Amino acid sequence: MVLGVVLFGLSSAVASPASSSTSVPAQSTNDSDGQIRILTVSGLLDPVMADFIKTELKRAEDDAVNGNVIALVLAIDSKGSVLDDDEFIELAELIATSPLQIVGWVGPSGSVALGGSAELVGLTDLVGISAGSRVGDIGESRLPEGAFEPVFGDATDRLMNVSIEAEEAIELGISVGPIERASVLRDFVNEIEGYRSPAFSDDASQLTQAQFLNLPITSQLFHTVASPEVSYLFFVGGLSLLVFELFTAGVGVAGVIGAFMLVLGSFGLDVLPTRWWAIGLLILSMLAIAVDIQTNVPRLYSAVGMVLFILGTWFLFRDGVSMSWITGLFGIVGAVLYVYTGMPSMVRTRFSTPTIGRKWMIGQTGTAKTSVDPVGTVMIDDTPWRATTNRATPISDGDTVRVVGIDRLRLLVEPESGGARDYRER
């Protein structure tokens, strides 16, 4: 589980947000007259993405004063918003009141704009929805009544609880039509007021330039971590690595990686709408599992830990935010393997290593936690250990025991007094 979580998480963290593979004529990464700027808005609309939009909108408005920018295009593929009400309203006001031309394009094909993301699309000056994409499922509006008009006009009620495809959006007057005109970005941008394409000008100096903008790499990391799947896997993976570190004789590499993953996972869960008690269940599950790992016998605490882990996974997210069932199943199956196969094997390997002995325990006294007849559990220095004794001298629960030897993962114990003697010693 641990290796799978690390690989999955790291590969997801370094991946750039999805962006359109469609090109726009005369692309440029430099400011120039008549430029349009295209922002890739993918994934859930979180504080990282909102700050990116606000920053680039302010920069584009400043450059528009000198005629360098004619429009800002939001290329959207987002299942909703996890912004709090104040942050969402602030972003909505900036888009709705901007003197710059703001354009919303839901694409490429297969993209969506749902929930709060759909509301933002409705606030833009021009909307295009590509073939195969959908918009809607607004739910309860996040915008205060009176301060904003219905974002999709008379069609707003239609989109409250359903999402619609491009064809219906064109019929309702939401999207630019015909559908071919909005399906490809290089065609759709021709609808932007002031845009000059090669089809209407033979002078390259008169063409409108386009600049694609994506989140910086550091922001990409935090934006990716704030997705349900990655935040969950990072969080439980970090917990697993920290528990793993407690029972290894390494140099702390697992602990450092685990702490890093736990911090990133905690950030993601803090951004997303989660149930605090479900997070608590995940933490308690690892503590319960650690109890049985100490004795190297997955029993009651392991079973309790797995139940808590499943409940924490199932109820972790709320307010319509959820993760793929495949991710949840991956986490649960990984936890089962971790508890019943991975950690017991690791503990056996650790204590079978000659350089990590327990001979110091020979001669120590303790208390029988259960009856030892001939196998049971004893407490030595407040730590439970599996133990065995001579069949001729069974030990009752609560009796004082003395460690007389080590047999692999088990302690050899006898009553503090009256222990059986080997006939060969007579």
The β-bridge partners of 104 are 74, 127
DSSP string, 135-201: EE---S-SSPBTTB--TTGGGTGGGSS-EEEHHHHHHTTSS-SSHHHHHSHHHHGGGSTT---GGG-
Q: What is the pLDDT of residue 296?
A: 65
Decide if pLDDT at 210 tops 50: yes
Q: Tell me the per-residue pLDDT of 416-425, one tens digit each, with 9 for 90 and over.
A: 876 555 444 4
Beginning with the edge strand found earlier in the chain, give each strand of the sheet holding 134-136 in spatial order: 112-114, 134-136, 163-165
Question: What's the rounded Cα separation, in Å, for the pair 156 and 119?
Answer: 9
Q: What is the pLDDT of residue 12?
A: 39
Whether 425 is covered by a domain: the verdict is no
Whether 424 is covered by a domain: the verdict is no
Q: Tell me the per-residue pLDDT of 263-297, one tens digit each, with 9 for 90 and over.
A: 999 999 999 999 999 999 999 999 998 888 776 66
Same domain? 60 vs 206 = yes
Structure tokens belonging to residue 295: 């004795």
Same domain? 129 vs 266 = no
Same domain? 197 vs 68 = yes
Backbone phi and psi for residue 420, each to the nearest 5 degrees, phi listed first? -65, 145
Structure tokens belonging to residue 90: 């602030």
Same domain? 141 vs 49 = yes
Tell me the CA distances in angstroms from 75 to 25, 102, 130, 197, 333, one per residue in order.
16, 11, 11, 19, 37
Q: What is the pLDDT of residue 249?
A: 60
Amino acid letter for position 219: S
User: At 374, which CATH number?
Assistant: 2.40.50.140
Q: What is the pLDDT of residue 263?
A: 95
The one-character DSSP state at 59 is: H
Same domain? 294 vs 174 = no
Same domain? 245 vs 203 = no
The one-character DSSP state at 424 is: G
Picking from 199, 220, 241, the residue at the C-terminal end of a domain is 220
Question: What's the rounded Cα separation, in Å, for the pair 176 and 295?
Answer: 67
How many domains are there within the chain?
3
The β-bridge partners of 73 are 38, 103
Q: Tell me the per-residue pLDDT of 3-24, one tens digit each, with 9 for 90 and over.
A: 444 444 444 333 333 333 333 4
Picking from 294, 328, 351, the residue at the C-terminal end of a domain is 351
Same domain? 243 vs 270 = yes
Residues spanned by the domain of 331: 229-351
- Among 146-160, 211-225, 277-291, 381-395, the minimum mean pLDDT is found in 381-395
Same domain? 401 vs 347 = no
Amino acid letter for position 69: V
